[in-house]
Amino acid sequence: MARSWFGGRVPDFVIAAGTDFEIAPGVVGKVAVLVGGVEHKLWNEKEGGTQYTDLLNEEGAAISTVTSLPMPAIGSLPRFQGPDDVKRMYISAADGPRFLILADDAGGGSVSQEQLDALVANDDYTEQGAILVATDTGQPTALEVGPAGTVLTADPSEPTGVRWASAAASSGNMLVWREDLDDYWPPELKAKTDVGRIFAGAVNPETVDGVEFNHDWDLWVGAPGGGA
């Protein structure tokens, strides 16, 4: 476990509203005043939650709150370390509103670069076309590019939730159920398993003589009054 650094950055200042200031006719604002000596508490939630008291100051001494600095750095928050493995906290002066404060290595408020590197190895994505997918275990993994002519399709039975399958979108690979023939037409496509096919009809193609139905890329779309 490791601590992260907070505070001491450009936006980390304590500002109070001073006297009125007329910015333009009829537009009145407040003079911003930098304030030192203000004690701040750190929390794990924006509202409610638990106060963090396991903090270290810049010298490594234990502190439970953080106090804004006096002159010459008046109003700025000093550098301090949060609890182990905490990258984001909420800070408030006294019992006032809380504001998000991020650690230097928070990685934009998500995960640190070290955490990301531990999950995703660059060496996994050197192959042309490889993509990053999530798995049912929550571990990102590389999905290698599929064979030429295949498309990425959803499949909940796969650990990644997707798989490569032959495209079955060409009307040239469509078979239609014909009542007059009591069969799918054209017949030469019934056993053609090297391409994805679409079976359009109320009759399940797996029950028709001569049809070799490939579950990896064939599609039965049914018909009005039928079921797929």
Last residue of a domain, one of 166, 187, 202: 166
- For residue 4 the two structure tokens come to 């992260």
Residues 143 and 194 both lie in one domain: no
Establish if 225 belongs to a structural domain. Answer: no
Give 51's contacts (C-beta < 8 A, 6+ positions apart).
41, 42, 43
CA distance linking residue 4 with residue 85, whole number of Å: 7
Summarize the confidence of residues 115-131 as an average pLDDT.
68
Residues 133 and 216 both lie in one domain: no
Contact 66, 42 (CB under 8 A): yes
Establish if 95 belongs to a structural domain. Answer: yes
Residues 146 and 193 both lie in one domain: no
Confidence category of residue 90, pLDDT binned at 50, 70, 90: very high
pLDDT for position 228:
39
Percent of the chain with pLDDT over 70: 82
Establish if 227 belongs to a structural domain. Answer: no
Residues 4-26: tens digit of each pLDDT: 888 766 567 677 777 887 877 88
pLDDT for position 167:
59
pLDDT for position 51:
95
pTM as predicted: 0.43
Contact 140, 133 (CB under 8 A): yes
Percent of the chain with pLDDT over 90: 28
* Phi, psi at 117, each rounded to 5°: -60, -35
CA distance linking residue 32 with residue 29, whole number of Å: 9
Summarize the confidence of residues 147-172 as an average pLDDT.
73
pLDDT for position 223:
55
Task: Tell me which of 18-32, 99-113, 137-151 is least confident.
Answer: 99-113
Confidence category of residue 191, pLDDT binned at 50, 70, 90: confident
Establish if 141 belongs to a structural domain. Answer: yes
Which CA distances in Å does 88 have to 8, 44, 209? 15, 8, 64
- Beta bridge mates, 131: 143
- What is the count of structural domains for the chain? 3
pLDDT for position 225:
39
93 vs 166, more confident: 93
Confidence category of residue 224, pLDDT binned at 50, 70, 90: very low
Establish if 180 belongs to a structural domain. Answer: yes
Residues 183 and 154 both lie in one domain: no
Task: Tell me which of 100-114, 149-163, 189-203 is least confident.
Answer: 100-114
Residues 155 and 130 both lie in one domain: yes
- In the predicted model, is pLDDT for residue 172 greater than 80? no
Summarize the confidence of residues 217-222 as an average pLDDT.
83
Query: What burial class does residue 157 get, using C-beta atoms within 10 Å of its C-beta: 0-12 exposed, 13-18 middle, 19+ buried?
Result: exposed
Residues 20 and 87 both lie in one domain: yes
- Beta bridge mates, 90: 43, 100
Q: Domain containing 148: what range?
A: 120-166
Residues 176 and 155 both lie in one domain: no
Last residue of a domain, one of 68, 102, 136: 102
- In the predicted model, is pLDDT for residue 117 greater than 50? yes
Give 102's contacts (C-beta < 8 A, 6+ positions apart).
6, 87, 88, 109
Establish if 108 belongs to a structural domain. Answer: no
